[in-house]
Amino acid sequence: MAQATLPVLESTRYVTEHSRHVTINKDAIHQMLLRGIVRQSWTPDLHLADPDWIFVLDALNFCFWEDAGQEKWSIEYHGERLSGYWALAAALRRAMEEGVPLTNAEFLSTVSSKSVEKIFRGRQRIPLFQKRVDNLREVGRVLLEEYDGSFVNVLQRAGQSAVELVKDVVAHFPSFNDIALYENKTIFLYKRAQLLAADINGAFEGEGYGAFHDLNQLTIFADYKLPQVLRHYHVLEYDRHLTHIVDNYLPCSPGSREEVEIRAATIQAVELMRQELSNGHDSVPSFKLDWWLWSLGQDDAVREKPYHRTRTIFY
């Protein structure tokens, strides 16, 4: 029986074959891999090994950037100032410590904007605030309607298959259904749904809820940081038109040809990395390459050129 797959690789391959603005430099992939892969693992410091908490985390894990010159949203947690994704994880952990029932579907289904404001309190306001309120309500409502109020039941329905988990989540939770239209073809990207499977695997160290048998079917999670890293290392090359947009901090519209080509090329470039590593008998799943690339993206040198700016709930 053939292993179930996701449509992400096939659909994004079509984009790279017809791309106008983004090119993958295969020689640069080889040069980048010669630097060596530093394997990253799940970091328990700010995370909770609770399936429902992780689901809430990944329902909110998108768009932390501010317009050029604006201060980023950040929070203080245990004496440390955090921004971006780490601020999100810390804010959700802080909320649990303060008794906010973040893993209770009934609470989430009708959560007030005021309650969410308190969860994310800090410097500045978290971007796309109302979208995050909407996502929390969707999580609570759908869990109550379809899964008896718990994400654990979503996992049990998936039967230890990351592919089935992703398919189920994108089918029932619209905020996870990360797709685009490109030359009248549907392109499947599924960033946060795939990340959810990887996060569950990491949180439970590949056991129990995280014992998926098909993690090798996941692609990387195409966001705005990974293309920035790949461009820094010349793996992704932008044409003059796209270079002008990105380097001048101009908006890149959600679903635009430029945005879809950036994300599709990111997925396909890392798939080529994975294949080259596999040829050397050092098989590394794509999601672990994602963690490595994301960690590289925290280096100031990699941030020399900006990332593309797309306001979206999908990443």
Give me the residue spans of the domains in the chain.
7-310
Over residues 17-47, the pLDDT tens digits come to 999 999 999 999 999 998 877 766 666 678 9
Model's pTM, two decimal places? 0.94
Over residues 81-130, the pLDDT tens digits come to 999 999 999 999 999 999 999 999 999 999 999 999 999 999 999 999 99
Give CA–CA dist 23/261, Å, rounded.
9
For every residue of 85-111, DSSP letters joined together read HHHHHHHHHHHHHTT--TT-HHHHHT-
Beta strand segments in 131-208, E: 179-182, 185-188
Percent of the chain that is helix, strand, coil (3-state, to 5): 55, 10, 40
Q: Kindly report the length of the chain.
A: 315
> Angle at the Cα of 299 (from 57 to 284), degrees rounded to 5?
65
pLDDT band at 68 (very low <50, low <70, confident <90, very high): confident
Contact call for residues 290 and 221 (beta carbons, < 8 A): yes
> Angle at the Cα of 292 (from 37 to 205), degrees rounded to 5?
105
Helix or strand run (H / E) with residue 24: strand 22-24
pLDDT band at 1 (very low <50, low <70, confident <90, very high): low
Give CA–CA dist 50/203, Å, rounded.
8
pLDDT at 297: 87
Give CA–CA dist 222/155, Å, rounded.
23
pLDDT exceeds 80 at position 210: yes
Hunting for tokens 């909110």 — which residue is that?
60
Active site residues: 223
Kindly report the number of other CB atoms within 10 A of residue 69's CB atom.
6
